[in-house]
Structure 1
Amino acid sequence: MPKSEPFERHTDRYEDWFDTHQSAYRSEVEALERLLPQPGFGLEIGVGSARFAAPLGMQVGLDPAAEMLARARDRGVDVVRGVAESLPFGDGTFDTALMVTTICFVDDIARTLAEARRVLRPDGALVVGYIDRDSPVGRVYQEKQSENPFYRDAVFVSTDELVEAMKAAGFSAFEFVQTIYHWPGEIDDPEPIDSGYGEGSFVGIRATR
């Protein structure tokens, strides 16, 4: 079952995080921008309120939470209600598929990645942004998981695990960016954005279909 209930009930709290942590949020957007110079016709899977889809140029967003989709629509994104494991789009529809802080909420990572690959055009790209399970922020999120309505049912993954799953789904030509080197609440200015992974808590991966 999709883990959407907290996002339906606590939409305002979700939105407030981005307003309160502007520098951390901007760092994540800018990191992903480096992987999306020309997104073309794009889909964000797990679009939420389109905090990433809108600035990154994704035209379509999918999410199981109706309250989130209403916010995404207000930000100019065409929205569809659905789940990552069963995308309601034809084969080869999109140039880019984006998932940001979504992979930890899906029920089936392998099926999610297979569906993302299916709806991409032959030279399309999948971009995934997430908090690395083995990073400083990832470890704190796991320690305090029971206290957070959003992350209570999340299953965090490491970068190495995710790369292996993406390879198994048929993706290749990996590129990595990383940012967020401090606790988000302590970040007053945008964080550095570097290639690779293993130091920053927020990691972005771009891979080709």
Structure 2
Amino acid sequence: MPKTAPFEEHTDRYEQWFETHEAAYRSELAALERLLSPAGYGIEIGVGSGRFAGPLGMDVGIDPSAAMLGCARERGIEVVRGVAESLPFDAATFDTVLSVTTICFVDDITQTLAEAARVLEPDGELVLGFIDKHSPVGEIYQETKEQNPFYRDAVFVSTDELIEVLEAAGFTDFEFVQTIYHWLDDIDGPEPIESGYGDGSFVGIRARR
């Protein structure tokens, strides 16, 4: 069942996070920009308020939260209400599928990635951004999740766990970037962006079918 209630009820708090942690947000954007190809027709799964889809050039965004979609629409995104496990699009519709900090909220990661593979063109690319559960930020989020309305029901995954599911869904040719090396409240400028994973709390993965 989609975890929409916190996003419907705390939209202002969600948006405020990006204002309060602008340096971390900009670092995550910059990391994902390194992975994305510049052209093509793209969708963000779990578009939220459009904070990533807009700057990263996605054309369409899908999300189960009406409140989030309203914000994304104001940012110029064509929005569709729906869930990651059952995308209302034909096969081979998109050149790019983006999903940022959404994997921890879906009901079925395997089905989500299978759907991402289905709607991608044969040579399309999937780009994921997420907080690794074994990272410093991931561990704090898990320890304090009961105090956070957004993360209370989240299920965090590690990069290695996600790679296994991606491979099972038919994805190959992985490329990794990482950033966010400090606790979010301590970040007041751009964080380094490095290849690989295992050090930064925010990990980006590009994979191809």
Q: Could you tell me the TM-score, scaled by structure 1's length? A: 0.99
User: What are the residue-to-residue correspondences of 1:14-93 with 2, within 5 Å?
Assistant: 14-93=14-93
Amino acid at match of 2:4: S
Q: 4+ runs of 1 displaced by more than 3 Å?
A: none
Counterpart Cα distance in 2 of 1:159 and 1:185: 24
Identity %: 72
CA distance in 2, matches of 1:38, 1:167: 25
Amino acid at match of 2:108: D
Unaligned runs of 5+ in 1: none
1:47–1:62: 8 Å Cα contact kept in structure 2?
Answer: yes
Give the SS at the match of 1:173: strand
Give the 3 Å change call, closer, same or farther, for CA 200–39 of structure 1 in structure 2: farther
Q: What's the counterpart of residue 182 of structure 2? A: 182
Match of 1:169 in 2: 169
The letter for the 2-side match of 1:26 is: R
The residue type paired with residue 59 of structure 1 is: D
State the match for 1:153 in structure 2: 153
Distance 1:2 1:37 in 2: 30
Q: Secondary structure at the match of 1:137?
A: helix
Task: Give 1:37 shift.
Answer: 3.1
1:102 equivalent in alignment to 2:102? yes
Question: Partners in 2 of 1:170 and 1:39 — Cα distance?
Answer: 23
- 1:39 offset after TM fit, Å? 4.4
Aligned residues: 209
Work out the CA distance in 2 between the residues paired with 1:128 and 1:185: 24
1:117 paired with 2:123, answer no
Q: For residues 39 and 198 of structure 1, do their structure 2 counterparts lie closer, same or farther at Cα, with a shift above 3 Å needed?
A: farther
Extract unaligned runs of 5+ from structure 2.
none
- What does residue 195 of structure 1 align with? 195
Find the aligned partners of 1:128 and 1:37 in 2 and give their Cα distance.
Answer: 13
Structure 1 vs Structure 2 CA RMSD: 0.5
Shift in Å, 1:9? 0.3
- Give the equivalent residue in structure 1 for 2:11: 11
Task: Quote the Cα distance in structure 1 between the aligned partners of 2:22 and 2:40.
Answer: 27
State the AA in 1 paired with 2:166.
Answer: M
Q: Is the 8 A contact 1:85 1:111 kept in 2?
A: yes
The 8 Å contact of residues 39 and 58 in structure 1, kept in 2 or not, is answered as no
Q: 1:83 to 1:149 in 2, by over 3 A?
A: same
- Shift in CA distance, 105/39, structure 1 to aligned 2, threshold 3 Å: farther
Q: 2 CA distance for matches of 1:102 and 1:79?
A: 16
SS class of match (2:99) = strand
User: Equivalent residue for 2:2?
Assistant: 2
SS in 2 for 1:61: strand
Instruction: Give the residue type in structure 2 aligned to 1:165.
Output: V
CA drift of 1:122 comes to 0.3
Question: Distance between the aligned counterparts of 1:117 and 1:39, measured in 2?
Answer: 19
Q: Please report the TM-score for the alignment, with normalisation by the length of structure 2.
A: 0.99
